[in-house]
Amino acid sequence: MPTDPSTPTRRLALSGYDVVRISCGAVLLAAAWLKSGDAADLAQGAAHRWLVAALVTFEFSVGVWLLTGLHPAATRRWVQCLFAAFAAVALWKAVGGNSSCGCFGTVVLNPWLMVAFDLSAVVAFARIQPDVSRTPRVGTHPARAAVVVASIVWIGMPLGMRVAPWDGRVDAVTAFPLRPEAWIGDRFPLLEYIDVADRLARGEWKVVLYHHGCEACRKAIPQYERETREHSEKSDGSAIALIEMPPYANPADRLAPESTACAVGRLSDAKRWIVATPAEIILRNGVVVAFSLPSSSGDRRQAEEKLAGRIR
């Protein structure tokens, strides 16, 4: 009997539900992978890093589950709720003025785009029914279930552990893009890497991170000198600490003079710290209460006004 040529086509054809689940699963796998390699998360607090580690493993697990196509009817329902939650988080970030949703690690993506994608996924899962003639389950397709478990154990969990703070410190990678906006209200995470940390942990300080090769820093340090002397005469305001970032200058090229009225120190050269300089971090008893970074245009006035407003 001749074989119907259309039979293989029917078996291999993807339903609308298959297209949606595979697309969303691939996006979740990409998000988990990119988050696990975001060095900026490693420069933040332990609680944040544990949260990211759990999220990486969770997103990877859901992505693999969607790719296997197991239990489509039940999966369709709870995945709608999941993407609705993702949409709410992306909307919160969009309304808050964030330039990126952070969904894909260092890849910058407008949060409004993720709101649109997540809501589209919710609508797609709600409207597109899975093929009732094909309902793979764990019991009928044990190989697929084994793939899910093995993938989570051998890939998903190790990805999450790349971010997890085993000892509560930022020592797993050598490069750290610093994000002071994530430190507000928390203990200054760089204290353990600064040689004058004991002084900075008490009282109110304006910590200035600078590079000796930074022209903006060269121009700004005399201003910090004047500010320190003025505050010293008035006995008010924050003390200023000039913290040199590696690589350090030769003694003849140091920006902070030996006679400086500011406190001086160094950030450890064990890591490569990445931040726009001069960066100002305001501390109260070791806790970050405000910060200021140079604007892209080089004009600090707006940033400084924002800083002043936050610490009043």
Render each residue's pLDDT in the chain as its tens digit; 312 residues. Answer: 455 554 444 455 788 899 999 999 999 999 988 887 654 555 455 566 677 888 888 999 999 999 988 889 889 999 999 999 999 999 998 898 777 888 887 787 899 999 999 999 999 999 998 876 677 766 667 777 787 788 777 777 777 676 665 443 444 445 567 888 888 898 999 998 999 999 999 999 999 999 888 888 989 999 998 888 887 765 555 699 999 998 888 887 888 887 788 999 999 988 778 788 899 999 999 999 999 988 643 444 443 433 333 333
* pLDDT at residue 12 in the model: 55
87 close to 101: Cβ distance less than 8 angstroms: no
Domain assignment present for 48? yes
- The pair of three-digit structure tokens given for residue 170, joined into one six-digit string: 């930022």
Residue 267 bridge partners (DSSP): 194
Q: 229 to each of 33, 96, 255, 256, 271, how far by Cα in Å? A: 50, 38, 17, 14, 33
Token duo for residue 139: 């019991």
Q: For residue 172, is it within any domain?
A: no
Q: Are 223 and 292 in contact (CB under 8 A)?
A: no
How many CB atoms within 10 Å of residue 45? 17
Straight-line distance from the first to the last Cα atom of the chain, in angstroms, rounded to the nearest whole number = 87
Cβ-in-10-Å burial (0-12, 13-18, 19+) of 5 comes to exposed
Which residue is it, tokens 């039979």?
A: 7
CB 230 within 8 A of CB 262: no
CA–CA gap between residue 227 and residue 204 (Å, rounded): 15
pLDDT score of 37: 67
Whether residue 122 is contained in a domain is answered as yes
CA-wise closest residue to 212 among 257, 165, 167, 247: 247
145 plus 219 within the same structural domain: no
On whether both 235 and 187 belong to a single domain, the answer is yes
- Same domain for 129 and 211: no
Q: Alpha-carbon torsion 69, 70, 74, 75, what sign? A: negative
Q: How far apart are CA 51 and CA 83, in angstroms?
A: 18
Answer whether 271's CB lies under 8 Å from 175's CB. yes
Domain limit, last residue, from 98, 127, 161: 161
Asked if 287 contacts 299 with a C-beta cutoff of 8 angstroms, the reply is no
Which of 135, 161, 187 marks a domain boundary? Answer: 161
Q: Are residues 151 and 21 in the same domain?
A: yes
CB 44 within 8 Å of CB 179: yes
pLDDT of residue 282: 95
The answer to the question of residue 217 being in a domain is yes
Provide the residue range defining the domain that includes 56.
7-161
Q: Do 135 and 256 belong together in one domain?
A: no
| 146 in the same domain as 74 | yes
In 41-182, the DSSP E strands lie at: 175-177
- Distance between CA atoms of residues 255 and 244, nearest Å: 9
Q: Give the separation between CA 52 and CA 295, rounded to whole angstroms.
A: 28
Q: Are residues 14 and 141 in the same domain?
A: yes
| Other Cβ atoms closer than 10 A to 175 | 12
At 231 the pLDDT is 77
Cβ contacts of 26 within 8 Å, gap of 6 or more:
63, 67
Peptide bond preceding 251 in cis form (omega within 30 of 0): no
Please identify which residue in the block is written with the tokens 């006035």. Answer: 301
User: Is residue 302 in a domain?
Assistant: yes
